[in-house]
Structures are given as C-alpha cells and as structure tokens.
Structure 1
Amino acid sequence: MKKILFIFTLIAMYGFCYGTENRIYEGIAMDKHSLEFIYKEVHHEIFWKGKHVETLTYFIGKNGNEFAHRELNFRSSFQKPEYLLTDKRSGLLEEVIHLGSNQFNIRYRKNIDSKLKESNIYVPKPAVVDGGFNYYIKNNWDKLLDDKKLVFNYLSVAFQDYFTFRIYKADKQTNDPNIMLLKMECKQLFLRLMVKPIFVYYNLETRRIVKYDGISNIRDLNGISYKALLNYPEIGP
C-alpha cells in the first residue's frame, strides 16, 4: 500500500508541474452471482499536452494490498495500446507490443510454473487490444447511437490469437435515459453459443463507462477469469 501511495504522489506532482489533466478514479468488482466484493481497481490516466498517453491500473484485494498491475500505453495508438499485465499471486504475465502494420509481439505466462510463450501475430483491421476497446467505442460513438452493429478483431494474449466480435445497442435498454447499454458478443454463431455476451453501460453525456457486466481480465487463484459486475461510482474509463 505504501508503494501505491508513493506512486499516487509522484503522478499528482507530475501532473501539477506540467499542467496535464491526470485523473484518478476507482472501480469496484463484485462476483456476478454472489455480489461479493472481489477486488478494487485504481486507475490513473496520465496526459501529456492534453493527450491521454497512458493508464496505470492497480488491483487491490480484500486485504487492502495490491496484487496485480496493468499498464496501457496509448502513445502510438488508442485502439491498439501497448499492454502489460502482471499478477504477483500467480506469476501471470501478459504483454503486447505493437510492431506496426497491425503486427503484434505477444508474451504470455499463465503462472510462475508455466513456460513463457512468445509469438508474433497479425490482426486484421479494425484491431483492438485490451483497453483500446473503450477507444474503439468512442471513435464509433455516433454509429452506435444510430443502432449500427460494429465488428472488430480483439487480440487474445492467452490464446495468442484474435477473435472477431460485434457490438451494438442492446435490445433492452435501461430505465435511465442518460445511459446507453451496449452488448458485445462473438460474431461466429458457434462461439456465441459457448461464450456469454458482455454488457457495457455508458453515460451518454461523458461517454464514459459506468458499469461493466462480463468476463474480467483478472483471474482467481485457480487461473479462471472472474465473471464480474464492475461499477464505477464516480467516473469510469
């Protein structure tokens, strides 16, 4: 926890000195079925000369200690950021480096006892990497408002492959007129039958996520991804 507080202080001072718009906000993840607390996300959006260049995310467990860390570097691309996720509990490592021309270098280790896998992969346009999904939504905001179905290719580090998804406004919207509910699902029918869809709730005014309902990029102690309800009480990504 002391390490996190120290980093918070450095980021705050960095933003003050250079006149940036750095933001810090939190997300609370709960088990989708039991609604029990799983972890807290602490996000740091770092800006340089008005441009969002990086997001650092710290994952905090029930004991109040950090157990995982994620870095998203948007300097070369918003939809295809360089990505690093580490989980100190298991030794998990996920890393993506954008080589250009939609070529990516991937490094993956499931746990400390697993062999590090590394490969290069080509992902057709439109390619999306991890948190770049959020920018893909914002870049196509008006199309989604007009009930268009969008298709994109999402890079999976664990599978060292990509999967094609489609996203569109869900048939059933919320009772809140300020919220747009989007449904994300596999494009291929046989995968849709196997993989449950993801639902993302966006604030229409801020164009930021207020709630996420689906699979998490954080795994439990058995290496299985959480099925989570993730709420952002004040501001989201």
Structure 2
Amino acid sequence: MRPADIFTAFILAMLAASASAATQSYYGEAEDLVTGKLLYREYHTVEYGGGIPVKRTVDYKNPQGELIAEKINIYADNPLTPSFNLIEPDTGYREALSMMGDQLQMILQQPGEPVQRDRLTLPDDLLVVDAGFDELIRSHWETLVAGDDLTFYFASVARFDLIRFRVERVNNSDQGKVVIRMQLASRLLAWLLDPIQLEYDAESRRLLSYRGLTNIRSASGDNYIASITYFYP
C-alpha cells in the first residue's frame, strides 16, 4: 500500500472512531430525606464507544465544593459489571473491584487499618456491579415496563458478598416517568433494607432521581440515605 493510501486509511479510521465515540456529562444533587439539606453533589462524565459505555468518572463534592470522594468505572465486555475504584482522598477509605477470570477481586481499605482483600466466584445468575445497575434497567427496559420483575446479584465490596435483589416497576400517575423499585429478593428479609426507588424518563430512559442508600459515607462513617436529583445539559 502506498504511503498516501496508508494515510487515507488512517484518517478514515480516526473519523469512524470519532463518529462512534461520545461523552456525556451530568450531575446530581443529594439531599437529606428528612430535612432536604444538601449533602453533596456528584459530577458524572461517561465516555461511550459504539453506543456503549467505556469509562465513567465521578467526582463527589460537599456543599462547599470540596472533593470528598472520587470514582472510576472501566467497562469491558459486559456493561453490567464494570470494574471500579472509589476513594476518599482525605480519609484514605477505598473500595475497589475488578474481574479476574471467573472471579471478582475485591479490595477494601478502612482508614487506619490494613488492606482487606477477597475473591468471590461469579454466580450463575445475573450479576451487577456498581454503576452497572443503570445499564441493567435500560437493557431490560421492555421487561420491566411490561410489569415483570427481575432478580440479580449485586456485588458488595463493603460486605465482601453477593447480595440478591429484585427490581420491579411501580405504578405511578405520571405517565412521563417510569418508577423502578429495588429491594432484597427474599421477602422474609426485605424489611432489613428500605427499598431503593428510581425514576426514569419514559422517553429518553435517563435516570431522573434516586432515593435510598448511597455509596458515599458521612463524617460518622455511615453511608448517606438520600434523595438524588439528576440534571442534564
């Protein structure tokens, strides 16, 4: 192939890659469920390739604009199971997860304590990791909208465990929104954790709000329970 032909092929490949890649940025405001007080803001940047997520970065900032946590998701073959690394710069608290063949490698760093590591074998059933939950809803949209429920395992680094959940659509009067409820799959144990509720735009399928336990810790070390509203450009 002539040099000119090689250069032309390179340019065409670059243009094709640019056409299939995109970046979406949005943010959310987390408020206390009782007082409505602003707890923190989360700033998302998602990179896409060929219409599927490739990388997500999230900066979490307190009401004064100071960084309190940061997270990176790297998506591979399955958008439901991205690897992730969450860290609090000030305290050193860290949660991380990566796929290692047929196992999940988990890392937990508590402030002032030795690093803890564990590996779990992948379940035979559907598995979701971190932000992969949002992709789960969209990939099973028609099933959930039709009123059928869905069960899956969620990987919890804080517990070094796989927790089984059930998601289902909730009837609501606003036809422009689809409300999804997530709770423990066992009806006998469901009372241990309040359901998480999510609202999606019925047309764009964008996440509009989240209500429930979050992955951000308060000064006391407990995870916030909050209502998060998302804003898009």
Tell me which interval the TM-score lies in, with the shorter structure as reference length.
Answer: 0.7 to 0.9
Which residues of structure 1 form unaligned runs of 5+?
Answer: 1-16
Match of 1:163 in 2: 163
Task: State the Cα distance separating 1:116 from its structure 2 match.
Answer: 1.0
Match of 1:178 in 2: 176
RMSD: 1.5
- Within 1, Cα distance between the matches of 2:215 and 2:227? 12
The residue type equivalent to 1:121 in the other structure is L
Identity %: 24
Structure 1 pair 33–163 and aligned structure 2 pair: CA distance change class (3 A): same
Conserved? CA contact 1:123–1:162, under 8 Å: no
2:161 maps to 1:149: no
- Within 1, Cα distance between the matches of 2:146 and 2:51? 29
1:104-119 superposed matches below 5 A: 104-111=104-111, 113-119=112-118
- Within 2, Cα distance between the matches of 1:130 and 1:194? 20
> What is the number of residues matched between the two proteins?
215
- Within 2, Cα distance between the matches of 1:131 and 1:192? 22
Conserved? CA contact 2:216–2:224, under 8 Å: yes
Task: State the Cα distance separating 1:49 from its structure 2 match.
Answer: 4.6
Match of 2:13 in 1: none
Over alpha carbons, which structure has the higher Rg?
Answer: 2
Q: Secondary structure at the match of 1:221?
A: coil
Match of 1:212 in 2: 210
Q: Secondary structure at the match of 1:22?
A: strand
The residue type equivalent to 2:148 in the other structure is K
Q: Secondary structure at the match of 2:231?
A: coil
Q: Secondary structure at the match of 2:45?
A: strand
- Within 1, Cα distance between the matches of 2:189 and 2:35? 26
TM-score (norm 2): 0.88
- Within 2, Cα distance between the matches of 1:67 and 1:38? 11
Task: State the Cα distance separating 1:123 from its structure 2 match.
Answer: 3.4
- Superposed CA deviations along residues 183-222 of structure 1, whole A, max 9, x for unmatched, are 1100123421111000010111111110000000001011
Which residues of structure 2 form unaligned runs of 5+?
Answer: 1-16
Q: Secondary structure at the match of 1:136?
A: helix
The residue type equivalent to 2:189 in the other structure is L
- Within 1, Cα distance between the matches of 2:195 and 2:18? 41
